[in-house]
Amino acid sequence: MASEITYAEVKFKNESPSPAVKVPPETKKPEHHPQKYPLWLPWLISLLLLVVCFALVVVLLVVLFWHSSDQPRVLQQQFSEWECNSAVPQGTDRGWTCCPEGWRRFERSCYFLSLDKMNWTESEQNCTGMGSHLVVINSRAEQEFLSLEIKQPSYRVNFYIGLFEEKEGHWQWVDKTPYNETAAFWKKGEPNNRNGGNTAIMNVPTEPPYNWNDVKSYWKYYWICEAAAVTV
């Protein structure tokens, strides 16, 4: 018996193709172009910043100056030119002590020595108009300082100070500072009220420190103004 050969048809299904892998397109690197600006631009910016900083410092000093609590603003409004010293006054954290130009400074006060003569009342009014008052002497050191100052120039002989006789035998300073006889600097025998003197002067020829003399208030003499120094 002849053997039968059986053929079987085997069909293989086509496998699905492998998914395509998408490669991202190559990113194009941006081209770097050198920044174009004038070479002087950084210098200009630096200069502007410097100017701004300087302006801020000036404004700060002006604000501190005008708002200083140590001095009435009247004095500051009267004068546009000032002389400042960098020494820090004791008891303050500010760094400059200033007086109007032409005034003399001692410790924390400024002094103006007149070049013309007036009576006592006119002298005090003149000082008040400048934001000050006739000088009030509080210490021997201040008295000695002023005694040297009034000798320059030498032609001036007598200077009014801010001391007056409120009533007979009762002397008073213009700023209401209590009068202390033990801290007064009268010449020997003064005040004698010999000629009705009711105001006080410093007499230049008299050897300091005791050089005060009483005089009539309507006599005309030179005068000394005092104001607190401005600190900024």
Q: What is the DSSP letter of 134?
A: E
DSSP string, 27-45: PPPPP-PPP---TTHHHHH
- What architecture is domain 65-231? Roll (3.10)
pLDDT reading at 34 higher than 80: no
pLDDT reading at 131 higher than 50: yes
Select from 71, 70, 88 the least CA-distant residue to 79: 71
Return the percentage of the chain with pLDDT > 90, whole number: 47
pLDDT reading at 114 higher than 90: yes
Domain ranges of the chain: 65-231
pLDDT reading at 211 higher than 90: yes
User: Residue 160: which pLDDT band, with cuts at 50, 70 and 90?
Assistant: very high
Q: Model pTM? A: 0.66
Select from 79, 46, 36 the least CA-distant residue to 229: 79
